[in-house]
Amino acid sequence: MIIEHVLFVSAALFAIGSYGVISRRSLITVIMSLELMFNGVLIAAVAFSRFTPPAALLSGDPLTAEAIRSTLTGHAFAIFVTAVAAGEAALAFAMVFAMSRAGDSIEITDASDMKN
């Protein structure tokens, strides 16, 4: 397992998700594909955190606790993005639900009501 293999999985997940976002008609499936794309990005962040050292470790200066902590920046990024994705998913499904309750179609080609 080297970083290229993990990035390969990440790129494949992102591409599958983007295919879903472009080609699916139902808004629910589009949101699900968006979550897949989020996951692809998060895998890349964690992989970089795991395999590449931050600049503070390569500078040759004596290590500080901050420099050691900075190896986990990718993990912190992943957690923040997860939280944002959770809020986004909740709002998106609430909007889809509001559309379907108002009697509108939830197909993405018809979803232009929001400008009214």
Partner 1 sequence: MEVTSLTTFVFSVVSVMALGCAGLVVTQRNVFRAAIALAGSFLSVGILYFVLSAEFVGVVQILIYVGAISVLVAFAVMFIQDVTSGSRPARGQVIGAVVAALIFVALVFTSFNTNWSTMDRINDPVAIAALTEGWVEIGTDDDVRITLESPSTSDEVVVENGGVLVDSTGVLGVLLVREYMLAFEMIGLLLVAALIGGLLLMRDPERTSGQPGRKISS
Query: In the complex, what is the shortest distance from the CB of residue 107 to partner 1, in angstroms, rounded to a whole number?
Result: 7
Query: In the complex, what is the shortest distance from the CB of residue 60 to partner 1, in angstroms, rounded to a whole number?
Result: 8
Spatial separation of the C-alpha atoms in residues 90 and 67, rounded to whole Å: 36
What pairs with residue 107 in β-bridges?
Answer: 26
Query: In the complex, what is the shortest distance from the CB of residue 113 to partner 1, in angstroms, rounded to a whole number?
Result: 6
